[in-house]
């Protein structure tokens, strides 16, 4: 994998809740945003902002499974600032809203059970 992409992935993983714009990521490795976007997408398979959102959604999923924090508290912990976007992104990733996910998880139903319906 390209060392510049690895550097940005390390940066993202160290602090996934930090506000990172594409231009910030590109500047970290001395590339233009468009060039960095192309390299990242080629190496990872998704755009850098999608990678970051996906990481945040995984964190949110773990918090939903392991805590009784409200959706709003979880949203703030993972670095999301807009609840409607957070819910939409979570639903895109897991095919249900955070509240629905928690209800199914607490009832012993997993994502695989829901996907097979």
Question: Tell me, what CATH number does 3's domain have?
Answer: 1.10.10
Q: Does 109 share its domain with 69?
A: yes
The reported pLDDT for the residue numbered 109 is 53
Q: Does 65 share its domain with 113?
A: yes
Pair 16, 56: CB distance under 8 Å: yes
Angle formed at CA 99 by CA 98 and CA 101, multiple of 5 degrees: 65
Q: Does 38 share its domain with 54?
A: no
Could you give the C-alpha distances from 14 to 5, 45, 95, in angstroms and in order? Answer: 14, 21, 27
Q: Does 68 share its domain with 37?
A: no
Domain that holds residue 4: 1-45
Q: Does 40 share its domain with 60?
A: no
Q: Does 60 share its domain with 102?
A: yes
The reported pLDDT for the residue numbered 19 is 85
Q: How many domains does the chain have?
A: 2
DSSP state of 112: H
- Judged against a pLDDT cut of 90, whether residue 107 lies above it is answered with no
- pTM of this structure: 0.80
């Amino acid at each position: 994998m390209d060392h510049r992409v690895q550097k940005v992935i390390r940066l993202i993983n160290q602090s996934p809740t930090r506000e990172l714009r594409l231009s910030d990521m590109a500047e970290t490795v001395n590339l233009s945003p468009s060039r960095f976007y192309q390299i990242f997408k080629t190496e990872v398979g998704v755009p850098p902002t999608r990678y970051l959102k996906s990481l945040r959604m995984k964190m949110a999923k773990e918090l939903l499974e392991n805590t009784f924090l409200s959706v709003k508290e979880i949203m703030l912990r993972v670095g999301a600032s807009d609840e409607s976007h957070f819910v939409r992104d979570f639903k895109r990733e897991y095919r249900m809203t955070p509240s629905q996910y928690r209800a199914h998880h607490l009832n012993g139903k997993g994502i695989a059970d829901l996907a097979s319906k």
